[in-house]
Each structure stands twice: as structure tokens, then as C-alpha cells.
Structure 1
Amino acid sequence: MESTRRTVGELVRERWGDHRPGLWFEGGVVSHHQVAAGAAARAALLAETLPSGAEPHVGVLLDNTPEYPLWLGAAALAGAAVAGINPTRRGPELARDILHTECRVLVTERTHLPLLDGLELPGVRVLVTDTAAYADLLKTYEGARPDAGGAGPDSRFLLLFTSGSTGAPKAAICTQGRIAAAGHSLVGHFGVRADDTHYICMPMFHGNAVIADWAPALAAGAGIALRRRFSASGFLPDVRACGATYFTYVGRAVQYLLATPARPDDRDNPLRLGFGTEAGAVDAAAFEKRFGARLVEGYGSSEGGAAVQRVPGTPAGAIGRAAPSDDLAVIDPETRRECPPAVFAGDGRLLNGADAIGELVNRGTSLFEGYWRNPEAEEARRRGASPRPGEGGAGEEGGAGTGKGWYWTGDLFYRDAEGFLYFAGRSDDRLRVDSENLAAAMIENILARYEDAAAVAVYAVPDPVAGDQVMATLALKEGTRFAPSPFARFLLVQPDLGTKMAPRFLRIVERMPVTATNKIHRVALRREGFRCADPVWWRPPGEPSYRRLTAADTDELVARYRAHGREELLTR
């Protein structure tokens, strides 16, 4: 298919001379041509700013302002790659992200400059977009045309940070060809038209916004509308103002939208479709009923290793079936054998979660393009496979030890008897909180600084609606007692504790449970969750401090899980 070998740069250049409205932001609108011209000017600036011999990488530490898509376009034209820098990261961890991806240019704005205070960023030139100096600098490059910069389909285009069990976030490589192909695929799948407008309210340092929202708009010649940061109260006014027909979401955002006060005219909006993950069948149905727009759940790893497509007949709660190019299976990581099909009760509850839930694995050819400067993480993704029942032993073609291993997603799924796949969460050391992928090891390192802590374990417990919540177990030093106020104050002063990392639940134990090999027994901790014999403290949503979790609190929480069809996940 021709579109699979196209580049993002070609798609940007095709908008040159297109004077239709192309980008809406905070009441203003510019044409597709103006967007292409702005990208060309920034591409010329980047070409002259990057030191000779440096990797063509530019870090972008911005909210969803017009500068973000302009720099995406600039990178595509210049044959460079954008590393989206997450503004919820702090201190040395933020510096590590910038330096690890070898960004010699960092584009940011004044609101994020305090994040850079005190950071050692040798050799990094910082461009601050909302300043007179930046505006004057760009004038030098006005009139540049979006000419080819030698980039091809295999040129690096994105370095998307994704957390995992190795601790520090990994930068997944995405080429121009893969992003262009993804955009064209979604255009065909959803019937995106040139007169559509894609509303981008999810942060653009995530693959969700760039791959599933910006890329199909670019491929179809559709317009985009930006929201600096997601706002539940501002969502519908924005949609109406720009005529948005399509948007992407994560489950938490849908929950926030449904929590806004209902109005009689909620369905009076141009939205046709929302595409995202982890909304859940209950909330998806409620959203469509209230706002008149269908939510389509999808799954695709930022690394490109596996994809699940929704097809006609997909049951409520399921994501869909494997994409035609993938050979997906739900695998028990211990035995490396396929898990049995899910068994459901009459009301749809999963009855055999302990057996049916496993890690989603692509046993075929994946689009995974590797991680930047991280061969160990690449090997973990592609680790050796075991043969399927009835096939040869380990060491044969495609078997363990061959180096041609399957692609392990790190995500938990279960599959029904008809082959439909259901998302069940993240594997042991991964958490997904409010659409943010977090690594437990990083949070543990921070909590271990607490002066009364003798041992710390961090793990995911499912959120009642979507994704995960952070739970921690603390074994205290002898002679100490847990006090919630000092602990909360401790969290506030940790410079590298991201905004999603603070534990929702805190279990206090005299001694940390361990396995026979003296490792922390995370499986037991996770399965017990907050329903355990030890005292548990928690910080309910919107409350500033921790308090004891009572039996009434637990009953109310479990009722919420049951209402959203997620009670079975509490014992995974």
C-alpha cells in the first residue's frame, strides 16, 4: 500500500497553499498553509541551531499550544526527531529525559521554565516560545519553503517516553513511515474527511494525541483544535466553537466529563466519534447517551509492537480482535503458554481471572522499532518465546534463546472463546494512572527516603473505573509508628515525585512479606490490595491528607468496582 511508505514530511508539504482553516487555538484560527509555513521556518531554524554532528533531536516541553504541532512539522521537514518531554517529571529525572535522548535543542515556554531551575543541561540550547527574542529569531527564517530535507520513511520522527519494569522511562523510536501509515490507517478506519476537525485535548507528549489524533488529521487534510490542558468544563464549549467532530481520550478524562453537571443541550454538539482507551463499557454507554457521540476503544502500544482493532460484533467491554498483521496471544509469563479463555457469569463478570488473565504477546512480526540507546529494554521486549503446544522444544526457530522472540507488551489482557480481547491492566512493575505510565521502582526509590521506612513496595491496584491507582506497603523501623501528616509533608517536598506518583493507598506492616528467595512478595500484596488484615491509610480523591480506610470505605469502593464491571480485577 503506497501510504505505508510515505513520510510525515510529505504530508506537511501537501498543506502548502491550502488556505482552509487548519488550526484553532484559544479563539484564533490559522490556515493549513500558515501551519506549513510555520513548520518550514522552524525547520530552517533547527537546521542552523543544531551543532554539527549532533543527533537531530529536539526536546519539546510545551503544553498543547500551536508551537507543538509546528515543531512536529518542523522535525518532519528537517529529518529530525521530537522527544516529547513530560512536564509532570521533576528534578534529576526531568534532566535525565532530556539528556538521554541527546536533545541539543529544547523548546519550552515561560510557564515551564521553573522546572528547569537548577538542572544541569550541558550543551542544550533552550528556546522559549512566548518571548520577543524567539519571535525575532523566527523572523529570520520567514519565507522558508517546506522542501525535502532528505528524510525518508525510515527516518526517526518521534522519541516517545514509555515507562516499564526497568525503572527509568524508555524512549520508543517511531519513524516517519510508521506515523504516516498510522495516520492513513485511522483515516480509513474512521472515515476521516478533509472537512473534519480533530480536537486535541490530551497532552501531545503522549502517543495518544500525536499518533491517534494529529496524524490522521494531517493525513486527511483535516483541521486540528488545541486545548492547552484538558478541561472537563471547557470541553463542550471548545467542541462547539471549533466544530470538532473527533477527539481522543483516556478513561479518566471520560470520567471527568461525565462528572460535570448535565445540561439539556449536551447533545447539541458536532462530535461524531471519540477514540481512546480504558473508558469502560459503562462510561462509554453513558457518554454516548449524554453527548450523542460514540466512543471507540482501541489498543496499540506506543512502540508499535501490537494492535487490537474494534470490529463489528465486538462485545461490550472488549477492545476488539488482533490486527490482521499481528498474531496476538494471552500468555502466562511463568509457563509461557496460552491462558485459557475467559469464563463469564450471566451478568458479564469474569469468573476465572486468576487463570485467564495474562500478558498480551505478539508472536508474529511486529512494528517495534526499538528504544533509543537501550538495548537491554529492547531485549526484554523481544525476549525469547516458548513453542506453542504441539510444536518443537526451546531453541528451535522462534523458540527461547534464538533472539527472535515474541514481542511482550507488558499489558494484561484476557480473551473470550470467540477471540475478542479485554484489557485488564499493567504487568507487575507497571502502573497506568490517569493515562500516565509509571514505574514502581522509581516511586519506591523516592518513598525509601522516608526516615521511618525500613522497606517499601509499590504496586498497582486497579482503579474503580479505568487504569490503576498507586498502592504502597511500608514496613516501619522498629520503635516507630505511622503518622499521616508527617508522611504527607514528606511527599510534598520530594522534588522528583511526579504529580501522579503519590500513593492512593498505604498499607503499614511490621515486616515485609517475602518469597522463598527473599524477594518482596509483590504478587501477594497486589492480590490482597487494600482488603487486607493490616491497617491501610488512604487519600480519597480531592482530599489533601491520609486517613484510615474503614470497613464502610471498603464496601463503598468495592461497590464502585462492581458497578463498572471491575471487581474481578481486585484479585488479579
Structure 2
Amino acid sequence: MNANKQVSLSEITSGILRAVPDAPAFVAGVRSMLNAGPDKKMSIGLLLEKQARRHPASPALKFEDKVWSYAGFNGWVNRIAALYQQMGVGEGDVVAIMSENRPAMLACTAAAVKLGAIAGMINYNQRDEVLVHSLGLIKPKIMVVGQESVAALDDTEYSPLQNQTLRYLWLGEDPEQCPLGYEELETQTRMLPSVNPETTGTILSKQACFYIFTSGTTGMPKASVMSHGRWLKGGAGMGLLTARMSHEDTIYVPLPLYHNNALTVSWGSALASGACVALTKKFSVSRFWDEVRQHDATAFCYIGELCRYLLNQAPSPQDRQHKVRVVIGNGLRPEIWMEFKERFGIERVCEFYGASECNLAFVNSFDVDCTAGFCPLPFAVVECDPETEQPVRGDDGRMRRVATGGVGLLITKINRLAPFDGYTDASASEKKLLRNVFKDGDTWFNTGDLVRDQGFKHIQFVDRLGDTFRWKGENVATTEVEAAFKHVDQIEQAVVYGVQVPNADGRAGMAAITLHGSVEEFDGKSLAQTLMSSLPAYAVPLFVRVRDEHEITGTFKNRKVELKKEGFDPELSADPVFMLDPKAEAYVPLTPDHFQQIQRGEIRL
């Protein structure tokens, strides 16, 4: 399929005709999106209570061999909300959630937003300074911690033995294993009332419900603000308007709930339609289809990397032995789009585009192949300087749109219908805004992404700009990785960037380093061991280039454009290049033979 595709009117017309049988869901989606005004009393908790009344016996949640009905799940959430209230949690307070996917995690999240509190969704891969930074941004009143995350928290000032101001709830398998300083959730909630809290009915659509962490385009993680209204519109837009789900559907969610695809797109779609969410702890390519079949899933959520992992498995007669008819997600690359649909018998791909902090989203509402979707609200694809990674302004000071079919920077207009909720950090929010773009006084959000204008208000994602790249389904901030190099004695300076590798989505991490003058030889083993112990696996650079000095711009910024172009090819580099050997826990010399093996897919990264 052509990666440079433009959308035609005939494709849109065909998609509309195919959607006619699902018109009731389509209409319900439109109605829900239009009704989510900022000052209306609409919230996630009210929607959960509505579905519990409408479909009390229908499954709301599946996990392993357990099933919770909507009435049962809502009652559980209410008991946790009652515990939160006993702990002093109220409107505007923050409950930090740091856990692998498990039913109690989703229940704890829902309980927080029922009270008008904000659930801070912490990436459980975060460690050390990054974790402390993230918790410092959201200032939680309560920590909800999965048993697998206790050790990471113990290494910080947020350990319950060091911090006496917070309350800590523990989510684990065996209550007797609850660590010192924690309160075990089930023990604390078993005898509490299951009635709906009165506070839920007072929450306004414009109030915050989640802090979802994003690395944005630069710097350490930032906490983007998600409002009830935006979350509800996202669920209705994807679950009803696009995927056209019903209470008879089950969506399988293999992505972590701190990820917007899981929390907003998947759970939001299920709650909007009364469908069921089937959770798994972590994505496993070997268990994926077995779990899809186990839960009778009719849909699942994805990121592009997940689809490629599934395609890389050997074909099996069971590839089409499932009930999935629609998939929801983003990042499915055009070059594997049709192969994925045909091999696994997927009827519709509901691709979307939308960052956690972005004020609008694109959705593939018309079932067009190889597109990130359609958005009726104002946006523009403008010319961008690849050197500075900034939008280009003409002599008149205005930005210039690219022609249909062209690639440029995606910017989205901020207005009453598409407000920008921003980050917890006001200065970080301001940096994302572009002013006087096409006329005096207008304000636009800078997505930091390159897209193709496909026509008919559709776009196709092309690449990410700035100091963030995507690898293994996670956004990696280069500054976060560069900070880890500061703890390595032999390194004087490190510049981190993403490089393209064949047969893989996103970009792999690469670091160009200079050694301290007293260091005679690069120690690849020591560096690898330090980085592997201090960074999540997906953030550890796969390649290292050892340089005598770094080139800088006139404003004293490191030049990354040439480094990205040269990539990890040792023939293009005047410097020695090393590759990560995970088994040896060392960086080893990357030879031309190694490079060719990577190109041919014989070495998997």
C-alpha cells in the first residue's frame, strides 16, 4: 500500500455506506460528543453508574478467569471511593496510581474520579530521579502501588518509611505479603458501603480527571491534564462514532493503563458503549491470540509495534480463529496495514491520532485504509525547517500550509470547541503554543509531529520531531536518557537521538559520546551495565558512537541533524560505533558485517 496515499471522495462515500447498519451507535456517538459542554454535570463516574443501571448483569471487566458485572464493578469502585473519603481525599486531590494492569488498579482509578479527585497515572517503568520528578509534579495525597512497584518506590524519598505525609495502598496477590507502611486494599474496603457517592453528581465536564504523563517534545516527563469532558468525548468518538461498539462487545487491552490508548481510547470506548474491557497484565505475543479467544474479544487496542510483533510470528491456521472484527489504536504503518488486515481477518482498523495533551484528535471514522483519520475541527499542516525543527514563517510573519499530499508540521487551533488543557506546569504549556500563525491573535497547539495532508481533512502520521522518539511503544525523551549518562565517570558529554532501523517501528536510541580526557579506552561493559540498571529497557540506547568532540550550533546547541542522517552505519561514521549486546551486558564494536545483518533482519533489535 502506498505510504504517500491521498484520500478520495469515493473512499469516504464507501465508508459511510458501510456504516449505515450501525447508524444507532453512530448517532449516539455524535450526540454524546455534542453534549459534553464544559459546564455540564457530566463525568466518568456518572457514566459508569448509568451503565450499571442500564446493563447491571453485563460484563464490565474480565481478567484471567474472573468476570465483574457492571453492577458488581460499580459497587467495588464505590467501596474504594468510601475508603478514599475516610483518608481525606476530596475534589482536586491527587491519587497516584503506579501498578501493572490488574482489576484493582482500574477500580482504584475509577474511584478517584468519582470523588472529583485526579488519578495520576504513573508509568511503572520509571525509576530514581525521573520517578521523583513525576511524583513531584502531581503532589499526590495517596499512593496506590502494585506489588511489583514497591522496590522502585523504596529507592526514593517517596518510600513510605521516609514519607510520613502520604497514605499508601498496596495491590497484591496475597494480603499477608503487604509490606510495612502500606495498607492492603481488599482488607480496608471489604466492609465499606457499595452505594454511589453523592459527590459524583456534582462534577463538571471541564474538571480534571487524570494526569497522564508524556515526555512531550523536550525534557523530563510532563503531566498532561485530561478533563472528564475530553475523556468522554474521546470514548464516544472512538467507541460509538468510529468503532460502533455495543454492550455485547468485549475489547481486549494488552497495553498498560498509564497509556492513553488503554485508559482513554479503550476503557472510554467500552464505557461509552456499555462494552466489556478484558485486561491482561502485560502484552505477550505468545499469549495474545489465546487470551483474545479466552475472553471472546470482538475488538482489541494496539500500537503499531504490537501489530508488527504479531506479524513477525510464524503464520498459523489459528490466525483467523477469533471473533475480532475491529481494532482500535495508532501507529499501524502503511507498509504493513493491508497485510495485517488480511492475515488476521480484521474487518476494520480504527486508527486515530491524538497525543495526551493535544486538544483534538483524528479518527478513521470512514474506514479508509492507511490514514490516521479525519478531524472536523480546525488544523493545519505547515512547512517546517528540518534543521531547526521549527515551523517556517514567511516575510509577512505568517506560517505556510503545505499542499495536499505534502508533509509538514501538524498544528491544531485552540478555541472554545477545542480547548487546550495543558500540563500541570504552566511554563511547559506555554512552550507548546504558537501565536499569530495565520492572523493576529490566533493561537495554535504545536504537536511536534510531521504528518502528510491527505486531503478531505485526513492526515497520515510520518514522524516525530524534537527531543522525543518512540521505541517499543514508548516515548523516550532524550534528556531523560542523557541524564543517565551523567552518572558514568568515563563520559564527558552524551547526545542522544533516535535512528531509523529496518523492519521496526519508531526509532532506536543512539548516543554520541565524548570521553573524559583522562580516559584512554571506552569501557562498553561498564556503560551498558549502568544504563541497563538505571533506565527502562526501551530507553537504553542500542548504539553508541564515540567522538572526539561534539559539533554545536551558533546558539550552543548540539547538532543532531547530521547524526540522525548518518545513523548507525559504520561506513558513514568517522567515529567508532558500538552496539548493545544485551546478553553480554556490554557495548561491542559494530562492524560492517553486523550492520548488514541488521539490514537483512538477521540481528533483531
Q: 2:337 aligns with which of 284, 291, 300?
A: 284
TM-score (norm 1): 0.87
Q: Which residue of 1 aligns with 2:387?
A: none
Letter in 1 for 2:392: T
Q: Which residue of 1 aligns with 2:48?
A: 12
Q: Which residue of 2 aligns with 1:299?
A: 353
Residues in 1 aligned to 2:323 and 2:527: alpha-carbon distance in whole angstroms: 47
Answering whether residue 160 of structure 2 is matched by residue 110 of structure 1, we say: no
Seen in structure 2, the aligned counterparts of structure 1 residues 4 and 430 have a Cα distance that, compared at 3 Å, is same
Q: 1:512 aligns with which of 527, 533, 550?
A: 550
Q: Which residue of 2 aligns with 1:272?
A: 325
After TM superposition, give the deviation of residue 64 of structure 1 in Å. Answer: 1.1
Secondary structure, in 3 states, of the residue corresponding to 1:485? helix
Seen in structure 2, the aligned counterparts of structure 1 residues 308 and 462 have a Cα distance that, compared at 3 Å, is farther
Q: Which residue of 2 aligns with 1:566?
A: none
Q: Which residue of 1 aligns with 2:520?
A: 480
Number of aligned positions between the proteins? 531
Q: Which residue of 1 aligns with 2:13?
A: none
Cα deviation digits, residues 74-107 of structure 1 (max 9, x gap):
1232111111111110023212222321111111
Q: Which residue of 2 aligns with 1:74?
A: 111
Cα deviation digits, residues 166-195 of structure 1 (max 9, x gap):
412111111111111211111121111110
Percent sequence identity over matched residues? 26
After TM superposition, give the deviation of residue 426 of structure 1 in Å. Answer: 1.6
Cα deviation digits, residues 520-540 of structure 1 (max 9, x gap):
112222222223322221226
Cα deviation digits, residues 2-29 of structure 1 (max 9, x gap):
5424321111111334012221111111
Flag structure 1 segments of 5+ consecutive residues without an equivalent. 344-355, 399-404, 562-572
Seen in structure 2, the aligned counterparts of structure 1 residues 554 and 492 have a Cα distance that, compared at 3 Å, is closer
Seen in structure 2, the aligned counterparts of structure 1 residues 261 and 229 have a Cα distance that, compared at 3 Å, is same
Answering whether residue 467 of structure 2 is matched by residue 429 of structure 1, we say: yes
After TM superposition, give the deviation of residue 282 of structure 1 in Å. Answer: 3.0
Seen in structure 2, the aligned counterparts of structure 1 residues 11 and 55 have a Cα distance that, compared at 3 Å, is closer
Answering whether residue 278 of structure 2 is matched by residue 225 of structure 1, we say: yes
Residues in 1 aligned to 2:372 and 2:560: alpha-carbon distance in whole angstroms: 28
Q: Is the 8 A contact 2:381 2:451 kept in 1?
A: no
Cα deviation digits, residues 46-83 of structure 1 (max 9, x gap):
1221367x842111111110012212321232111111
After TM superposition, give the deviation of residue 557 of structure 1 in Å. Answer: 4.3
Seen in structure 2, the aligned counterparts of structure 1 residues 76 and 492 have a Cα distance that, compared at 3 Å, is closer
After TM superposition, give the deviation of residue 446 of structure 1 in Å. Answer: 1.2
Identify which of structures 1 and 2 has the higher relative contact order when contacts are C-alpha pairs closer than 8 Å and 6+ apart.
2
After TM superposition, give the deviation of residue 297 of structure 1 in Å. Answer: 2.4
After TM superposition, give the deviation of residue 295 of structure 1 in Å. Answer: 3.2
After TM superposition, give the deviation of residue 357 of structure 1 in Å. Answer: 4.2
Answering whether residue 308 of structure 2 is matched by residue 252 of structure 1, we say: no
Q: Which residue of 2 aligns with 1:492?
A: 532
Structure 1 vs Structure 2 CA RMSD:
2.5
Q: Is the 8 A contact 2:379 2:410 kept in 1?
A: no
Answering whether residue 381 of structure 2 is matched by residue 324 of structure 1, we say: no
Q: Which residue of 1 aligns with 2:426?
A: 375
Seen in structure 2, the aligned counterparts of structure 1 residues 66 and 418 have a Cα distance that, compared at 3 Å, is closer
Cα deviation digits, residues 319-338 of structure 1 (max 9, x gap):
234x0013232341252433
After TM superposition, give the deviation of residue 270 of structure 1 in Å. Answer: 0.7
After TM superposition, give the deviation of residue 383 of structure 1 in Å. Answer: 3.1
Residues in 2 aligned to 1:100 and 1:27: alpha-carbon distance in whole angstroms: 37
Q: Is the 8 A contact 1:327 1:364 kept in 2?
A: no
Letter in 1 for 2:190: K
Q: 1:407 aligns with which of 445, 451, 455?
A: 445
TM-score (norm 2): 0.82
Answering whether residue 166 of structure 2 is matched by residue 124 of structure 1, we say: yes
Q: 1:539 aligns with which of 580, 588, 594?
A: 580
Q: Which residue of 2 aligns with 1:348?
A: none
Structure 1, 140-149 or 62-71: larger mean CA deviation:
140-149
Q: Which residue of 1 aligns with 2:507?
A: 468
Q: Is the 8 A contact 1:371 1:378 kept in 2?
A: yes
Q: Is the 8 A contact 1:13 1:147 kept in 2?
A: no
Q: Which residue of 1 aligns with 2:126?
A: 89
Q: Extract structure 1 runs of 4+ deviating beyond 6 A.
A: 540-543
After TM superposition, give the deviation of residue 35 of structure 1 in Å. Answer: 0.5
Q: Is the 8 A contact 1:305 1:409 kept in 2?
A: no
Residues in 2 aligned to 1:530 and 1:374: alpha-carbon distance in whole angstroms: 36
Q: Is the 8 A contact 1:16 1:37 kept in 2?
A: no
Flag structure 2 segments of 5+ consecutive residues without an equivalent. 1-30, 177-183, 385-389, 394-398
Seen in structure 2, the aligned counterparts of structure 1 residues 536 and 180 have a Cα distance that, compared at 3 Å, is same
Letter in 2 for 1:303: E
Seen in structure 2, the aligned counterparts of structure 1 residues 145 and 236 have a Cα distance that, compared at 3 Å, is same
Residues in 1 aligned to 2:199 and 2:360: alpha-carbon distance in whole angstroms: 31
After TM superposition, give the deviation of residue 160 of structure 1 in Å. Answer: 0.5
Secondary structure, in 3 states, of the residue corresponding to 1:303? coil
Residues in 2 aligned to 1:82 and 1:108: alpha-carbon distance in whole angstroms: 13
Secondary structure, in 3 states, of the residue corresponding to 1:500? helix
After TM superposition, give the deviation of residue 488 of structure 1 in Å. Answer: 1.6
Cα deviation digits, residues 292-313 of structure 1 (max 9, x gap):
1243322111113232232548
Secondary structure, in 3 states, of the residue corresponding to 2:318? coil
Cα deviation digits, residues 92-148 of structure 1 (max 9, x gap):
321222232111111112222111113212322110123264322102313333544
After TM superposition, give the deviation of residue 416 of structure 1 in Å. Answer: 4.7
Answering whether residue 401 of structure 2 is matched by residue 363 of structure 1, we say: no
Q: Which residue of 1 aligns with 2:441?
A: 397
Q: Is the 8 A contact 1:471 1:505 kept in 2?
A: yes
Letter in 2 for 1:325: L
